Amino acid sequence: FAADGRFVLVSGNAKIEGNAPGVIATAYNASRGVTVAEPDTSKESDWSYIDFGTPGKVAKRERIADLDIELVTFANGVRLNLKKTDFEAGSIGISARIGNGTITQPASQRGLTALAGATLVEGGLGKHSLDDVQRIFAGKNVGLQFRPEFETFGFSGDTTRDDLLLELQFLAALISDAGYRPEALRQVRKGVEQLYLSFEHTANGPLATEVANLLAGGDPRFGMPSKEVMLARNLDEVKTWLSPQFEKGALEVALVGDLDIETAIVAAAQTVGALPSREQKPELADLKKVTFPAQRFAKDYTIATEIPKGALKLYWPTTDGLDVSRQLRLSMLGAVLTDRLRVKVREEIGGTYAPYAESVASETFPGYGYLTANIDVDPAMAGKISELVTSIADDLATNGVSEDELKRAREPWITAIQQSLRSNSYWLNSVLARAQERPEMLDQARRRLADVEAITTAELGALAKEYLGRTRASRATVLPIGTPAAEKKEPPKAK
């Protein structure tokens, strides 16, 4: 495009009959003859969400001196957790957790979680479309992301001192008057078509749909549904699901960064502190029942792709992460298994470039968790590497963990813990986000370095013996169609 002049690009799947460049040029030249008026800025909306009622009164306030944290509860039940830092000049991180989360998704409405996550903010507000919001916030540090989680609906964002009140007004507006506008659904449905097209050609297709659901014993709240089911979801369902939880659900807000504590409390009082009273978070024990498949499984999938790589996933059922100390040790065992995979799989046979293992230990579902090994493989080597990984884990179960392995796994953790102490993200997401709902998070912040240093090879060996034996391993393999390994197995195509 080095030549002078204006260039017109037309992209997409439009079919232009005849001389396409000529048709485009004609349409462009015709458009130049249309008079374009300047936008009528007089009709632009002012921000409508300033007054949420009488500012909330502080019912309780506690200072946690050793962690330099303030815990506030307003009269309406909203909780506010604050920490002033100098880690990132001018930056304030915000987290908000409301309601009971995706465990409440109706069993008959698979895909509702994904639709809610993609449309809540994009659907704008009752008094402003998303375009209005973006125009009003132009040049300001205001914005929020919405992320449904198992036990809460989460909001997160970053702002500054100057824009903190506006950020909290936006949060309170989304909670009290979300727009659920149809343009958000239209955009999402376009994206759904592209997503499911990608599922046909990438390993994530069967892993995100069938395998994710299988790992939870077929629970409809896990894994993406079929495209047809996903497209059947609508904003009326999202509104019916979210509105009661936004109206009365427990709400905990956290602010971390370059803030003034007293000013932040006043801003929160005028916004979230002025919302209708919050209910106590219910236990909902009946909704917290998920189990790993009772029988071992070995699933083979094929995808249509020209990339000569496959994906190999192995799974060993473990337990939940409700005990912080046990969760930490399961994660460390995952780090040790990663180290062995790196040595054996990558360095000895060159079978993959970045094998890794990790513990997935639920903090929501009692007894539910698993260790997983994840390997990108040469399709011809998939069977051999699957057997090798199973044997590596079985050796850990039989012979335990060496002191050298524990040292190699632990040292990066210690470094990361020390560095995180000056990270707003750590304090916001790992400590303050639910510091009042789960006060044990404060104790974890105090003792996590000592807890990591106290892990022993005997503890990891005992966990490996309990969970990593050969007879406990399940497997999912995704290979390109047409490779000898895939044809030999004759697996079903991923749906």
The confidence score (pLDDT) of residue 35 equals: 82
The confidence score (pLDDT) of residue 494 equals: 41
Residues 324 and 267 in one domain: no
Contact 464, 457 (CB under 8 A): no
Q: Does a structural domain hold residue 44?
A: no
Measured between alpha carbons, how far apart are the two ends of the chain, in Å? 42
Residues 136 and 242 in one domain: yes
Task: Determine the Cα–Cα distance for residues 92 and 85; give it in Å rounded to an integer.
Answer: 9
Using DSSP's 3-state secondary structure scheme, residue 310 falls into: strand
The confidence score (pLDDT) of residue 63 equals: 98
Q: Does a structural domain hold residue 331?
A: yes
Cβ neighbourhood burial of 58 (10 Å; 0-12, 13-18, 19+)? middle
Residues 359 and 480 in one domain: yes
The confidence score (pLDDT) of residue 13 equals: 67
Kindly report the CATH number assigned to the domain that includes residue 277. 3.30.830.10
Task: Determine the Cα–Cα distance for residues 220 and 216; give it in Å rounded to an integer.
Answer: 9
Q: Does a structural domain hold residue 243?
A: yes
Q: Does a structural domain hold residue 354?
A: yes
The two structure tokens encoding residue 139:
């040049």
Residues 255 and 401 in one domain: no
Task: Determine the Cα–Cα distance for residues 266 and 89; give it in Å rounded to an integer.
Answer: 21
DSSP string, 6-52: ------SS----S-HHHHHHHHHHHHHTS--PPP-GGGPPPP-----
The two structure tokens encoding residue 433:
């986000």
Mark the ranges of the chain whose per-residue pLDDT is less than 70: 1-5, 12-13, 38-45, 351-353, 484-495
The two structure tokens encoding residue 200:
């046909």
Q: Does a structural domain hold residue 429?
A: yes
Among the candidates 287, 318, 349, a domain finishes at: 287
Burial 213-246, CB ≥16 within 10 A → b, else e: bbbbeebbbbbbbebeebbebbbebbbebbeebb
- Under DSSP, the state recorded for 56 is P
Among the candidates 230, 263, 287, a domain finishes at: 287
Residues 200 and 62 in one domain: yes
Q: What is the pLDDT of residues 398-455, one digit of tens each?
A: 999 999 999 999 999 999 999 999 999 999 999 999 999 999 999 999 999 999 999 9
Among the candidates 262, 287, 312, a domain finishes at: 287
Compute how many other C-beta atoms are within 10 angstroms of the C-beta atom of residue 257: 26
Residue whose pair of structure tokens reads 């936008």 in the numeric block: 39
Q: Does a structural domain hold residue 293?
A: no
Q: Does a structural domain hold residue 304?
A: yes
The confidence score (pLDDT) of residue 1 equals: 46
Domain region containing 467: 298-489
The two structure tokens encoding residue 486:
């895939």
Residues 238 and 367 in one domain: no
Task: Determine the Cα–Cα distance for residues 379 and 92; give it in Å rounded to an integer.
Answer: 47
Handedness of CA 115, 116, 117, 118 (dihedral sign): positive
Residues 217 and 351 in one domain: no
Where do runs of H (alpha helix) occur along 77-149? 112-119, 130-136
Residues 328 and 271 in one domain: no
Residues 126 and 190 in one domain: yes
Residues 325 and 281 in one domain: no
DSSP string, 245-266: HHHHS-EEEEEEES--HHHHHH
Q: What is the pLDDT of residues 356-402, one digit of tens each?
A: 999 999 999 999 999 999 999 999 999 999 999 999 999 999 999 99
* HSE value, Cβ hemisphere, 13 Å, CA-based, for 456: 3
Compute how many other C-beta atoms are within 10 angstroms of the C-beta atom of residue 2: 3
| Count of the separate structural domains present in the chain | 2
Measure the CA angle with vertex 308, ends 305 and 314; round to 5°.
95
Task: Determine the Cα–Cα distance for residues 386 and 391; give it in Å rounded to an integer.
Answer: 9
- Under DSSP, the state recorded for 282 is P
Residues 372 and 224 in one domain: no
Residue whose pair of structure tokens reads 């990066």 in the numeric block: 412
Residues 258 and 380 in one domain: no
The confidence score (pLDDT) of residue 39 equals: 52
The secondary element (H helix, E strand) that includes residue 69 is strand 69-74
Q: Does a structural domain hold residue 38?
A: no
The confidence score (pLDDT) of residue 199 equals: 97
